[in-house]
Amino acid sequence: MRDFTDDLKPASPHGTTILTNERSQSDVPEDELAEHLLSRNDFLGRQKRILRVLEKDPLFEKVKQFNLSRPERYQLGLARAKKIRRYEDQYRWDDEDRSMAQYLCDDVTPYMVHYAMFVTTIREQGSEEQRAYWMPKVESMEVIGCYAQTELGHGSNVRGLECQARWDPKTKEFALHSPTLTASKWWNGTMGRTANHAIVMAQLLLPKNEGSDEYTNKGVHPFIVQIRDMKTHQPMPGIAVGDIGPKYGYAPMDNGYMLFDNHRIPYSAMLSRYSMVDQNNGTYFQPENPAVVYGSLTYVRAQIIMHARLIIARAVTIAVRYTSVRRQFSDRDSKDPKAPELAVLDYPTVQIRILPLLATAFALHYCGESMHRLYETTRAEIDKGDFRRLAVLHAQSSGLKSLCTELAANSIETCRRAMGGHGFGGPSGFIQLNNDYLSKPTVEGDNWMITQQTASYLIKRMQAAAAGKGQPQDDIEKHCRQYLSEKSNYRPDQLRIFDNDEDLVESFRRRSRDMTYRAHVERNERKRSWNSMQIQLRKVSHSESQSILVSNFYDAVNGSSVSSTLKTHLRTLFRLFAFYTMDNEARDFSKANAVSEEDLDALPSKIQELMAQIRPHAVKLVDSWKIPDFLLDSALGRYDGKVYEDLFNRAHRLNPLNEITFNPNYKSEELIMGGGDDIKKILAKL
């Protein structure tokens, strides 16, 4: 319906004009940079191709979905998952294409765990026979599966899982059982409403000897279990399974709970590639080589970092575009009473929140790339039976997972607050992004907990270096030896961080070694308890991860064959990331004799200089990440800068609440005008 608001325009300057000007003033070679960042696996080509399909399908329209109820959100998620799968058949999409569709759709799909953990576990842990039986059913999605590991009472501590699989030699079956309420499987995606099968991780209990009532616990093993009837989709007898209810994010995902009441499963249910029970005499065979598993962990963590960088890039894209368009206040020092209002991004207090994060997206990118390369190399070594580099890779990737997902999770809220009032609104495009991503600091290894793995490895290497016997086991130990032999000569003014980027990299390395060394002294010389050192250990891990990020960034900028224009911009971003990180931890660097006090004092103004250099290029730098409007779903972050038109359109034309006229009179129980006793409908849902 037309009304007088149709003819109104926003006050000038118009957002489109502003962004056009921002783009024309910058020499950032956008397409070159996009290729540089996003050519792995033909990301850009794939994005374009899949986007064309989803964009024109009304099922994938996002604007109004935040008005839906939770049960509707699951239904929508299921509808989209089915549609993507049908597109997969229709267009012969491969796994990467499907992942791209899910990424662009931006709604976690209820099929997710089927595609990921369920398939992978059968493939990796099933025997040849088991794979032959299950894979066709799994691939056709006759069997839809989930992965049931964590429980109500145990997440991080896998050994503490309570669910039992007890071998019954008489019937040649396992009895799956949940002895307590806390043994309930919990959080497992795809399980709540969608899956008809599950991989269940359970403590394998074997009779101590034939006919015995006592059992030996062989630890946690995987079992494949049918959990719902293939026709009615109702839970199988002896199984209680359902969705756990609303969460921060993942509205369309049916994270589930599941309990077993001495539920019998056949001998063939135990996935038996690496470990098995002899069907005849109940003898247990050990896993071959558990180290094999770690290899793919590095791949998964490289993926987590590559995902984290896209999260930051997305938050920063919205924030940079909006704060370029948004104007508020004129310069306080201006003598001109009619001075125009400044773009919000011109204020240093806004820059300091957004621009270092822009640099961080690049830092994570180069680190993820480097991990992918390391994974490729290591994989070849592992295939040849050489596991030596696995430990260091695993240790480094733990710390990096922790730091990078932390940076990404915090980046969203930091950018949101930098956008002021409109940042709080749905059309910011931040709500779902934030709600979904906030799971990451916890899943795949709690961010605080797993830093212990990194620190533990580093301290061991420092201890070995201090002992100094034989050849160093790896590069870290080599550096530790170097540190130990040189540290008495370290003087803070040796490194010229403002003049020489290599010195900047070296400064981060010194500081990390120093942190490790102090922890080594505490643990190995002063014999402090591990738990009492946990806070310090996290700092040890983060300082190493920061050093890795800085050195990978440096290597990538210097080693790459990009144009000199682009290289200049990348170097500015590198320095901003390094100085900003250093400024936040200045005292550590000082203690490590890694930077002079004068240079530390100068950091804030150096950072401000670098931000001023980046400011005119900020819009093109975020453009280069090529995040489509379809994914952003943000009135504030639109490529064309039509911020206010979009905000108004969503409010005035796309808001279902405005289709209802309410009765505000408190003396009346009626809620909707003419609605009668509509209050009963609401009460029934409480």
Q: 263-266 and 164-168: which strand pairing?
A: unpaired
Catalytic (active site) residue 288? no
Q: Give the residue with the Cβ less far from its own copies, 381 or 413.
A: 413
Q: List CB contacts of 274: < 8 A, sequence separation 6 or more.
A: 125, 287, 288
The answer to whether 595 touches 589, Cβ cutoff 8 Å, is: yes
Burial 112-138 (b: 16+ CB within 10 A, else e): bbbbbbbbebbeebbeeebbeebeeeb
Give the residue, chosen from 222, 356, 368, 426, that forms a contact with its own copies under the rule CB under 8 A: 426
Segment contacting its own copies by CB under 8 A, of 203-211, 243-251, 270-278, 466-474: 243-251
Q: How far is the CB of 33 from its own copies (least distance, A)?
A: 28
Q: Quick check: 669 binds its own copies (CB under 8 A)?
A: yes
In Å, how far are 29, 360, 614 from 568, measured between CA atoms?
Answer: 11, 17, 11
Q: Quick check: 70 binds its own copies (CB under 8 A)?
A: yes
614, two tokens: 């980046």
Q: How far is the CB of 405 from its own copies (least distance, A)?
A: 11
Q: Give the residue with the Cβ less far from its own copies, 6 or 383.
A: 6
Q: Quick check: 150 binds its own copies (CB under 8 A)?
A: yes
Site for its own copies in 40-69 (CB under 8 A): 58-59, 61, 63-69
Give the residue, chosen from 17, 41, 156, 216, that forms a contact with its own copies under the rule CB under 8 A: 156
- Determine the size of the site formed for its own copies (CB under 8 A): 154
Q: How far is the CB of 397 from its own copies (least distance, A)?
A: 20
Site for its own copies in 560-619 (CB under 8 A): 586-587, 590, 600, 604, 608
Q: Quick check: 473 binds its own copies (CB under 8 A)?
A: no
Long-range contacts, 297-303 (Cβ 8 Å, 24+): 297/394, 297/397, 298/371, 298/374, 298/375, 298/378, 298/393, 298/394, 298/397, 299/372, 299/375, 300/444, 301/371, 301/397, 301/398, 301/400, 301/401, 301/444, 302/368, 302/371, 302/372, 302/375, 302/397, 303/368
Compute how many other C-beta atoms are within 10 angstroms of the C-beta atom of residue 151.
26
Site for its own copies in 353-382 (CB under 8 A): 353
Give the residue, chosen from 16, 120, 127, 182, that forms a contact with its own copies under the rule CB under 8 A: 182
User: Containing H/E element for 285?
Assistant: strand 284-285
Q: How far is the CB of 92 from its own copies (least distance, A)?
A: 16
Q: Quick check: 35 binds its own copies (CB under 8 A)?
A: no
Interface characters, 199-238, with its own copies (x: CB under 8 A): ---------------------------------xxx---x
Cis, peptide link before residue 13, omega less than 30° from 0: yes
CA pair distance 167, 265, nearest whole angstrom: 10
CA pair distance 252, 72, nearest whole angstrom: 8
Q: Give the residue with the Cβ less far from its own copies, 58 or 211.
A: 58
178, two tokens: 């949940």
Q: Give the residue with the Cβ less far from its own copies, 76 or 276.
A: 76
Segment contacting its own copies by CB under 8 A, of 124-132, 213-221, 314-322, 424-432: 424-432
Q: Quick check: 281 binds its own copies (CB under 8 A)?
A: no
Identify the CA nearest to 346 among candidates 624, 619, 636. 619
Site for its own copies in 85-144 (CB under 8 A): 85-86, 110-111, 141, 144
Identify the CA nearest to 566 among candidates 26, 25, 32. 32
Q: Quick check: 79 binds its own copies (CB under 8 A)?
A: yes
Site for its own copies in 338-357 (CB under 8 A): 341-342, 346-350, 352-353
In Å, how far are 65, 150, 269 from 155, measured between CA atoms?
Answer: 32, 5, 23
- Side-chain half-sphere CA neighbours of 272 within 13 A: 15
Q: Quick check: 303 binds its own copies (CB under 8 A)?
A: no
From 32, 381, 444, 522, active-site residue: 444
Site for its own copies in 438-467 (CB under 8 A): 438-439, 441-443, 446-449
Give the residue, chosen from 16, 32, 49, 75, that forms a contact with its own copies under the rule CB under 8 A: 75
Site for its own copies in 183-202 (CB under 8 A): 183-184, 186-187, 192-196
Q: Quick check: 679 binds its own copies (CB under 8 A)?
A: yes
CA pair distance 605, 668, nearest whole angstrom: 62
HEC string for 498-554: CCCHHHHHHHHHHHHHHHHHHHHHHHHHCCCCCHHHHHHHHHHHHHHHHHHHHHHHH
Q: How far is the CB of 134 from its own copies (least distance, A)?
A: 17
Long-range contacts, 212-216 (Cβ 8 Å, 24+): 215/166
Segment contacting its own copies by CB under 8 A, of 100-108, 152-160, 308-316, 542-550: 152-160
Segment contacting its own copies by CB under 8 A, of 47-55, 435-443, 473-481, 542-550: 435-443
Q: How far is the CB of 428 from its own copies (least distance, A)?
A: 8
Q: Quick check: 166 binds its own copies (CB under 8 A)?
A: no
Q: How far is the CB of 48 from its own copies (least distance, A)?
A: 24
In the beta sheet, which residues pair with residue 207?
A: 215
- Side-chain half-sphere CA neighbours of 436 within 13 A: 17
The type of residue at 86 is R
Q: Is 116 helix (H, G, I), strand (E, B) or coil?
A: helix
Segment contacting its own copies by CB under 8 A, of 219-227, 363-371, 566-574, 645-653: 645-653
Give the residue, chosen from 90, 385, 526, 666, that forms a contact with its own copies under the rule CB under 8 A: 666
Q: How far is the CB of 250 from its own copies (least distance, A)?
A: 9
Q: Quick check: 629 binds its own copies (CB under 8 A)?
A: no
Active site residue ranges: 444
